[in-house]
């Protein structure tokens, strides 16, 4: 593996911009972490690299946050935004339409699986999930099944932070401060972490779906509106379901008249080597949420794809409409950038790059894990992986509470920054390091990522050994 030497100047050198850290409220970051002297203040980016105000370069191994799929500094996406701003910067889709929004709906649905032939645009993944929840409820009202209001999601699944989306999110520490304000009609089933594959192929451990069916029968099928799940679950560390999981999930939902929503805020637009992650698992959901990669994160955008069965049922009912909307849904500039993103993905064969380069990434991660005493396993697929951390992989000993707190409380992050690598230590479920590089990352850049990650994992092992 190769490497690129970077300026060793500490990222925490004094800079006027650091004064603003006391005035800006961070997202999902502790006050201590936000004011850590090693916190990078970024100023520019190009390709898979970003640079801070002190001139230190970092390899973006997380695509920003699973979303800068085409990398940084894309003049074509900037030009698309600028041209659309000059032509028509804004108009809502309430009582009027605009060209980029209509074109985008056509382009996305033409690539969507099955009969997902309608798009409802919003501004974020959380809003997309909110919209899917309301679409499901509206559909059941349109069919006259007014008792259907319950939603089922999976343990440690993350579906957003607005109150509706947070209701179906199943990460306890995100929910607990707001429990009195959340929808109490949400139920959870186990995720597929540790679910085993079947010997010799075929359906693997589908016991969690046995529990799903038991739950539906206990609650009353006539009360359940929606099951929501990510094709590959982020919370818990890139959890790939066993063979046969999604087809049986689809069958159960169909049997009991429940809508199935694939939450593809992360997995849509190439992360797994397909336009939509559902394609990889051979299932067409009734609803599909997306965001992040739809614009390669150059401007906010999200949405829901809906099947013709859902939209036509609503249109033909006495309701006649979907009573939901937002000012900036299908924003012309975001739509134009998304169209440019799709065009670039086609012309640059981005999906092919993910499929051809994914084995290099996986093999490199597995080699790091095999050589380290602190990695239990590597999970994931495509350009979406996680390394689960333990105290001792040889004896399968979990991290102690103090070790876990120390690693996730700053040890890993400081090592990553020192190595010039931007990745995410994750504490939702098993402690892990998540790896999700831009979809345009080439094999040589993957080599740099793996070299630097190996250094970080070595640092982690040394720290764990010194803190038994």
Q: For the domain that residue 343 is a member of, what is the CATH number? A: 3.40.640.10
Residue 49's φ and ψ, nearest 5 degrees, are -110, 145
Decide if 401 is inside a domain: yes
Residue 386's φ and ψ, nearest 5 degrees, are -145, 145
| Same domain for 393 and 251 | no
| Same domain for 328 and 258 | yes
| Same domain for 215 and 88 | yes
Decide if 10 is inside a domain: no
What whole-number distance in Å separates Cα of residue 361 and Cα of residue 368?
A: 11
Average pLDDT over residues 145-149: 98
pLDDT-derived band of residue 33, with 50, 70 and 90 as boundaries?
confident
Decide if 160 is inside a domain: yes
| Same domain for 200 and 297 | yes
Residue 244 contacts residue 204 (beta carbons within 8 Å)? yes
pLDDT, position 6: 39
Residue 296 contacts residue 69 (beta carbons within 8 Å)? yes
The per-residue pLDDT for range 328-366, each reduced to its tens digit, is 999 999 999 999 999 999 999 999 999 999 999 999 999
Decide if 8 is inside a domain: no
Average pLDDT over residues 454-460: 98
Residue 60's φ and ψ, nearest 5 degrees, are -80, 95
Look at residues 329, 363, 408 and name the one whose alpha carbon lies nearest to residue 120: 329
The per-residue pLDDT for range 45-71, each reduced to its tens digit, is 999 999 999 999 999 999 999 999 999
Taking CA atoms, 329 is separated from 239, 302, 304, 322, 335, in Å, by 31, 8, 11, 14, 9
Q: E-strand spans in 34-180?
A: 42-46, 49-52, 57-60, 116-122, 150-154
Average pLDDT over residues 193-198: 83
SS3 content of the chain, % helix, strand, coil (to 5): 45, 15, 40
| Same domain for 192 and 326 | yes
Decide if 440 is inside a domain: yes
Place of tokens 């085993």: 196
HSE value, Cβ hemisphere, 13 Å, CA-based, for 431:
23
| Same domain for 65 and 138 | no
Residue 394 contacts residue 385 (beta carbons within 8 Å)? no
pLDDT, position 34: 82
391: containing domain: 16-70+349-466
pLDDT, position 24: 82
CB neighbourhood size of 337 (10 A): 29
Q: How many residues does the chain have?
A: 468
Looking at the chain, the number of H-run helices and the number of E-run strands are 16, 15
Q: Which of 347, 362, 388 is the last residue of a domain?
A: 347
Residue 158 contacts residue 173 (beta carbons within 8 Å)? no
The three-state secondary structure class of 299 is coil
| Same domain for 295 and 421 | no
Residue 127 contacts residue 301 (beta carbons within 8 Å)? no
The count of structural domains within the chain is 2
| Same domain for 99 and 27 | no
Q: What is the mean pLDDT of the chain?
A: 94
Question: Does residue 10 surpass a pLDDT of 70?
Answer: no
Q: Which residues pair with 425 in a beta bridge?
A: 433
| Same domain for 312 and 356 | no
| Same domain for 227 and 99 | yes
Q: Which residue has the higher pLDDT, 445 or 201?
A: 445
Q: Which residues pair with 392 in a beta bridge?
A: 397
pLDDT-derived band of residue 36, with 50, 70 and 90 as boundaries?
confident
Decide if 5 is inside a domain: no
Q: Which of 347, 362, 391 is the last residue of a domain?
A: 347
Q: Which residue has the higher pLDDT, 220 or 200?
A: 220
Decide if 20 is inside a domain: yes
The CATH number covering residue 55 comes to: 3.90.1150.10
Decide if 1 is inside a domain: no
| Same domain for 79 and 218 | yes
| Same domain for 81 and 64 | no
């Amino acid at each position: 593996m190769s490497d690129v030497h970077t300026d060793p100047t500490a990222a925490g050198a004094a800079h006027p911009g650091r004064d603003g850290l006391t005035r800006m409220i961070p997202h999902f970051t502790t006050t201590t972490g936000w004011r850590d002297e090693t916190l990078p203040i970024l100023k520019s980016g190009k390709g898979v690299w970003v640079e801070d105000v002190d001139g230190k370069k970092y390899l973006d191994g997380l695509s920003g946050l699973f979303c800068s799929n085409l990398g940084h500094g894309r003049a074509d996406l900037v030009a698309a935004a600028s041209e659309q701003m000059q032509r028509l910067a804004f108009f809502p889709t309430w009582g009027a339409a605009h060209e980029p929004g209509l074109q985008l709906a056509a382009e996305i649905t033409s690539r969507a699986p099955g009969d997902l032939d309608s798009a409802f645009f919003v501004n974020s993944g959380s809003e997309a999930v909110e919209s899917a929840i309301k679409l499901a409820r509206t559909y059941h009202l349109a069919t006259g099944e007014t008792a259907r209001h319950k939603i089922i999601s999976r343990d440690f699944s993350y579906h957003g932070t607005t109150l509706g989306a947070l209701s179906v999110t199943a990460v306890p520490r995100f929910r607990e401060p707001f429990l009195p304000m959340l929808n109490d009609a949400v139920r959870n089933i186990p995720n597929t972490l540790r679910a085993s594959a079947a010997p010799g192929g075929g359906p693997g451990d589908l016991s969690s779906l046995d529990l799903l069916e038991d739950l539906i029968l206990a609650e009353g099928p006539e009360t359940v509106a929606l099951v929501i799940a990510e094709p590959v679950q982020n919370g818990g560390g890139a959890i790939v379901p066993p063979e046969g999981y999604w087809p049986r999930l689809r069958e159960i939902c169909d049997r009991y008249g429940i809508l199935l929503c694939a939450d593809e805020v992360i997995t849509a637009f190439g992360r797994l080597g397909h336009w939509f992650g559902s394609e990889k698992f051979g299932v067409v959901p009734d609803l599909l949420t997306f965001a992040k990669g739809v614009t390669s994160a150059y401007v906010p955008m999200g949405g829901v794809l809906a099947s013709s069965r859902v939209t036509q049922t609503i249109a033909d009912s006495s309701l006649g409409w979907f009573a939901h909307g937002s000012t900036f849904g299908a924003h012309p500039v975001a739509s134009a950038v998304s169209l440019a993103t799709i065009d670039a993905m086609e012309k640059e064969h981005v999906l092919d790059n993910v499929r051809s380069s994914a084995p290099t990434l996986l093999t490199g991660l597995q080699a790091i894990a095999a050589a380290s005493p602190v990695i239990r396993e590597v999970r994931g697929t495509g350009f979406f992986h996680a390394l689960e951390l333990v105290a001792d992989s040889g004896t399968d000993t979990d991290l102690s509470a103090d070790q876990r707190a120390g690693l996730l409380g700053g040890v890993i992050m400081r090592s990553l920054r020192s190595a010039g690598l931007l990745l995410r230590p994750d504490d939702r479920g098993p402690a892990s390091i998540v790896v999700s590089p831009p979809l345009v990352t080439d094999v040589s850049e993957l080599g740099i990522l793996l070299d630097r990650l190996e250094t970080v994992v070595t640092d982690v092992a040394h720290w764990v050994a010194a803190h038994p």
